[in-house]
Chain A
């Protein structure tokens, strides 16, 4: 009898393990990603058919072009810092996409673009991004590989080296776009001391207050991710932005309704957001 129970228990456990391939407690995340994905496809196709997608103005992105033009007038270089994270961080990928547009604008205005790097793996990515931008501007001959400099993997050694570059080169503008840690404040304060126009963007919530305090313009969180699509005006990229806006609006409505229901002791909607 005992042996039979043991066998049944093992069989049940085995069956249970085989049956639960899916993390059902993460199903809500799957649903949100699925909805997001559907919206991305719908809006991308919509944009491809020529429908206009209106985007709100983002001051920080518009200021980037003006800062490069100012650098051109002053005959000074521009420094582009793509954060301190490796290529496996989505912020770094987003930063590389923005770098293409910054390089294009810099080439159009005959401005030297210096890209100090914190990760060696970023060297080919940064080189390709800068080359592509300059090629799009029709000035591939302006590309100088010496301006894409790997400095150090260590965040503070990197900060010291970037500070040195800024103090020596005295750039007219500094862009800090990517994932940052404690070194963000050191970089931005030195940039301020040399009188550079400073534009920063990151999704690191811990560093945002420092960046807001020290830089002239800040791309906060989602604005930073939207920058590449916003600058390029590519219909497919804008479609993904619009999809994110719709999902965000849905979440805001659900949060509002959920808060009211929670106030009356009904935890239905708040339970949907629980992730294990």
Chain B
């Protein structure tokens, strides 16, 4: 029963969500949106699981003074402080939570991580464009053509029709490969969906 009930629930809701794509009756649309809201509510309860997991995993290491326990203490204290301040003050503008914690700590840290992508792109590109086989050579030459095509000096003074070549590379060979991957992925997603809905794939549900 531990597996049969989840499989039955998955089957009923899965089939309904497939059918609602093809049926436009208001009752079906209403039920579909209601089920999606239920999913959001159920998912939001998972935050309790998340907080308990963080406290359990890190708390035990702090108590046992394991390696790097100081970082874990900072994490737990930050979590509890954010939680308490947020609950006490609310989420309105002008509060310590929004003005200090969110805008002046959280946002800059996220922006820093995002900005680090620029350096990672450069290092990844450097490795990718090292010509070791004819395929990587082909990739490097194509990438060079596209990158040069973005420079105004080239298309203004060297060859005015250069952007057309770049557009052709982006819109024809690039899109062909992109769509091929997309069709394969879509069929894979449908196959996986059917496997899950019909209980053929049930390994993720755990043991008997």
- CB of B188 within 8 A of CB of A40, answer no
A49 at the interface (CB under 8 A from B): no
Give the shortest distance, in Å, between B155 (CB) and chain A (any CB): 24
> Shortest distance in angstroms between B82's beta carbon and chain A's nearest beta carbon?
12
Q: Are A168 and B68 in contact (CB under 8 A)?
A: yes
Q: Which B9-68 residues have C-beta < 8 A from chain A?
A: 18, 21-25, 39, 43, 46-51, 53-54, 56-57, 60-61, 68
Residue B124 at the chain A interface, CB threshold 8 Å:
yes
Cβ of A222: which chain B residues have Cβ within 8 Å of it? 184-185, 187-188
**A210-B68 Cα distance, complex, nearest whole Å:** 32
Determine if A129 and B54 form an interchain contact, defined as CB atoms under 8 angstroms apart.
Answer: no
Chain B residue numbers with a CB within 8 Å of A232 are 203
Question: Given the interface contacts A22-B24, A97-B204, A128-B204, does A185 sit within 8 Å of B181 by beta carbon?
Answer: no
Rounded to whole angstroms, the CA-CA distance of A123 and B144 in the bound complex is: 44
Contact A129 B206 (CB under 8 A): yes
Tell me if A46 is interfacial: C-beta within 8 Å of chain B. Answer: no
Q: How large is the interface on A (under 10, 10 to 19, 20 to 34, 35 or more residues)?
A: 35 or more
Q: How far in angstroms is the closest Cβ of chain B from A37?
A: 7
In the assembled complex, the CB of A182 is this many whole angstroms from the nearest CB of chain B, namely 6
List of B residues within 8 angstroms of A131 by Cβ:
206-207
Tell me whether A257 is interfacial, beta carbon within 8 Å: no
Place the interface of chain B in its size category. 35 or more
Find B49's partner among A37, A120, A135, A159 (CB 8 Å cutoff): A120
User: Which of B22, B117, B184 is within 8 Å of A186, CB to CB?
Assistant: B117
Q: How far is the CA of A225 from the CA of B192 in the complex (A)?
A: 7
Closest Cβ of chain B to A134, distance in Å, is: 10
Write out the residue numbers on chain B whose beta carbons fall within 8 Å of the beta carbon of A94: 192
Query: Could you say which of B48, B114, B117 has the most chain A C-beta atoms within 10 Å of its C-beta?
Result: B117
Per-position 1/0 for B62-91, Cβ under 8 A of A = 000000100100000000000000000000
Q: Does A86 contact B (CB under 8 A)?
A: yes
The segment from B92-100, B146-154, B163-171, B194-202 that touches chain A is B194-202
CB pair B203 A224 closer than 8 Å: no
Residue of B nearest to A18 (CB): B25
A58 close to B (CB within 8 Å): no
Q: Does A9 contact B (CB under 8 A)?
A: no
- Does B121 belong to the interface (CB within 8 Å)? yes
Q: Is the CB of B114 within 8 A of A156?
A: yes
Known contacts A128-B206, A213-B125, A220-B181; can you find 17 more A-B pairs with CB under 8 A? A23-B21, A87-B43, A94-B192, A120-B48, A120-B50, A120-B51, A150-B50, A151-B54, A159-B113, A183-B113, A186-B113, A189-B120, A205-B185, A232-B203, A236-B200, A237-B200, A240-B194
Please list 15 pairs of residues, one from A and one from B, whose beta carbons are closer than 8 Å in the complex, sorted by A's number: A23-B21, A27-B22, A33-B190, A40-B194, A90-B189, A96-B204, A120-B47, A120-B49, A128-B205, A146-B56, A156-B114, A164-B71, A221-B185, A225-B191, A229-B195
